């Protein structure tokens, strides 16, 4: 648990430091997938810079999307649809249906919450993420997967949008 907390804190610190720059030159997201035996839910948190995802959503919808000017209920359908198209997981070669929980703003970040079914026994978890890759060719998507006390970190980008971790 301590390793997971330390990893999440360090990654969040990097995101916050990078967000201090008005025109940040770092394009990355941080994703945490936690298969939680206590709640029996697979919890997913996706952290994105709000200006980057605003651009992607505006391009996709043809409407100006602004997190600080519009309500959660206005933006949530667009954001959940975008993430459903650009982020997914499969457990033991079976695609799993996501349940959108919502999002919140924290500084320059949009923090999105998604839930998936619980897997008490899991041998392989495939993660697909091409979030923001179309808008930013240098986009990196860092994914930390925690299951059964083990954390594995993967890095996805335009050249590698899918990776499987094995247990």
Per-residue pLDDT of the chain (167 residues; tens, 9 = 90+): 444 444 444 444 444 444 444 455 779 999 999 999 999 999 999 999 999 999 999 999 999 999 999 999 999 999 999 999 999 999 999 999 999 999 999 999 999 999 999 988 999 999 999 999 999 999 999 999 999 999 999 999 999 999 999 99
User: What's the pLDDT at 26?
Assistant: 79
Number of domains in the chain: 1
pLDDT of 23 reads 58
Q: Please check whether residue 15 lies inside any domain of the structure.
A: yes
Helices (DSSP H) in the chain: which residue ranges?
2-19, 50-61, 72-86
Q: How many CA atoms lie within 13 A of 149 on its CB side?
A: 0
Between CA 84 and CA 9 the distance in angstroms is: 26
Return the closest-CA partner of residue 52 out of 158, 143, 115, 137. 137
Residue 24 lies inside a defined structural domain of this protein: no
123 inside domain: yes
Domain membership of residue 105 (yes or no) is: yes
At a CB cut-off of 8 Å and minimum separation 6, what does 109 contact?
A: 15, 16, 19, 47, 48, 49, 50
- d(CA 69, CA 71) in angstroms, rounded, equals 7
Domain that holds residue 8: 2-19+29-166
DSSP code of 61? H
The predicted structure's pLDDT at residue 25: 73
pLDDT of residue 24: 54
Residues in the chain: 167
Distance CA 157, CA 128 (A): 10
């Amino acid at each position: 648990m301590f390793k997971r907390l330390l990893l999440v804190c360090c990654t969040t610190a990097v995101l916050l430091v990078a967000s201090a720059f008005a025109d940040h030159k770092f394009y990355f997201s941080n994703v945490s997938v936690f298969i939680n035996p206590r709640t029996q839910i697979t919890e997913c948190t996706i952290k994105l810079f709000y200006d980057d995802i605003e651009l992607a959503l505006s391009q996709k919808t043809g409407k100006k999307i602004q997190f600080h000017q519009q309500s959660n209920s206005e933006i949530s359908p667009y954001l959940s649809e975008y993430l459903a198209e650009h982020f997914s997981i499969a457990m033991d070669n079976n695609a799993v249906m996501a349940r959108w929980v919502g999002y919140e703003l924290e500084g320059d970040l949009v923090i999105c919450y998604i839930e998936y079914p619980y897997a008490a026994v899991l041998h392989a978890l495939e993660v697909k993420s091409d979030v923001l890759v179309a808008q930013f060719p240098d986009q990196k998507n860092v994914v930390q997967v925690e299951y059964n006390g083990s954390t594995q970190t993967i890095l996805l980008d335009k050249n590698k949008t899918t990776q499987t971790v094995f247990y």
